[in-house]
Amino acid sequence: MAAQAFLKLPQRVYLGENLIRKIGDFLATKKNKGVMVFTDPGLVKAGLVKPLEDYLINSEISYKIETDLKPEPSYTEVDNLLERVSKFECDTIIAIGGGSVMDAAKLVSLLKGTNKSVKDLIDDASTATKKCSTIFIPTTAGTGSEATINAIVLIPEKQVKFGIVSDAMLPDLVLLDVDNVKNLPKPILASSAMDALSHCVECYTAKNATVMSDGIASMGAKLIFRNIVKAYQNPEDIEAREALQLGAFYGGVAITASGTNIVHALSYPLGGKFHIAHGVSNAILFKAGMEMNKEAIKDRLASLCDIVWPEEGSKSVEEKADFVIDKISEIVKEVEIPTDLKKFGVKDSDLDFLVDSALEQKRLLSHNMKNLTREDVVRVYKSVMEN
């Protein structure tokens, strides 16, 4: 009998074009006291929010748009957001944006109408329940937040990011509308897609990977490996961008089942102290993390190679593992993400802080196939400070 496996999924997911009308089908099942829209000023200016706003107006649905959402926010900033929106009566939150917008919406959906704060969820999110329905419309092709039960916040006093986890944060409706990523700027496409690729590869090589998470993670990895450079080099290749969008969603689903590990654990301190964009820090650490884990995961990397590049089937397990790691490094270069931490202001004197903070990411490191020592973590960080 196969080992027990599971997936946690949003209630409804649509992929395609012109999906705004699907919101009406969903809202028809709700009381529609009002709709709170979370987004950011750049998306409003770019016109990506206008079809949604037009739809709400034409449908005579009461709504409020909140655009003052900080990228990769601290828990106190999300608490401030909660205070600002608490007086608006709504039973649905629509998040249109990237991971930070969707993560903030998740947290507010658990806290609205309560006397609790984000800090309470950091301390213990096990009893949290959803107070508002959530609709997620991602405008990047990478974070996978539209599929996960995680929300990431910065803890400023510790200079580190933290992942709050609760099944109650699963969205009710997801619209993967390719119209929202057609004009995605190249640097954002690169960093977000590398984030998604790290989700897929880390989940596929995780200690608690299952037959179900493997299927989802490998599909996501294949879509992203095969399309990221095409989408980056040719903005007109809409099929490649749609593939990244779907691959990112698969990566998010895989996280709910098996979880990320070495790359994300070492990435969080870089975002927390140096404010390096999450996808960029993952890209910097990706190759080094896989190399550190290689002896423990080479069979898994070889299996992934067979799925993504079956034409490499005659290679040995060792060669296939190296092929995947080399391909990761090659892609990072082709999408022009710098790989030297010192370019971001990280100094040798910061090493102890980074290592201590990474080792505190016990939830993520518990998923890692290799039991990392302090010396292992030091070697990974040093390898990306000497390029």
Task: Give the CATH number, domain containing residue 50.
Answer: 3.40.50.1970
User: Which of 180, 212, 237 delimits the end of a domain?
Assistant: 180
CA 51 to chain centre: 25
Overall average pLDDT of the 27-37 stretch: 82
* 2 in any annotated domain: no
Strand runs labelled E in the chain: 12-16, 35-38, 63-66, 92-97, 133-138, 150-155, 160-165, 173-177
Model pLDDT, residue 40: 93
Q: Among residues 296, 299, 77, 335, which one has the least CA distance to residue 196?
A: 335
What is the distance between the alpha carbons of residues 192 and 350, in angstroms, rounded to a whole number?
26
| Residue that is last in its domain, among 180, 199, 219 | 180
Res. 26: pLDDT tops 90 = no
- Residue 233 lies in domain: 186-383
Indicate if the pLDDT at residue 387 is higher than 60.
no
Question: Total structural domains in the chain?
Answer: 2
Q: Are the C-beta atoms of residues 220 and 200 closer than 8 Å to each other?
A: yes
**Res 106: pLDDT:** 97
Q: Does the residue 3 lie in any domain?
A: no
Same domain, 350 and 247: yes
- Read off the DSSP letter of residue 147: G
| Tens-place pLDDT, residues 193-246 | 999 999 999 999 999 999 999 999 999 999 999 999 999 999 999 999 999 999
Residue in the block written with tokens 């200079």: 159
Whole-number pLDDT of residue 1: 36
CA distances from 184 to 40, 63, 67, 120, 136 (A): 14, 26, 19, 35, 17
Residues 174 and 260 in one domain: no
> 160's torsion region: left (phi>0), alpha (psi -120 to 50) or beta?
beta
Does 105 share its domain with 204? no
Residue 331 lies in a domain: yes
Is residue 4 one of the residues assigned to a domain? no
Is the same domain home to 376 and 352?
yes
Q: Is 86 helix (H, G, I), strand (E, B) or coil?
A: coil
Same domain flag for 46 and 149: yes
pTM > 0.85: yes
The verdict on 152 and 244 lying in the same domain is: no
Per-residue model confidence as pLDDT tens digits over 118-161: 999 999 999 999 999 999 999 998 899 999 999 999 999 999 99
Residue 305 maps to a domain: yes
Of 156, 180, 204, which closes a domain?
180
Task: Return mean pLDDT, the chain.
Answer: 94
- Residue 308 sits in the same domain as residue 194: yes
**Do residues 199 and 329 share a domain?**
yes
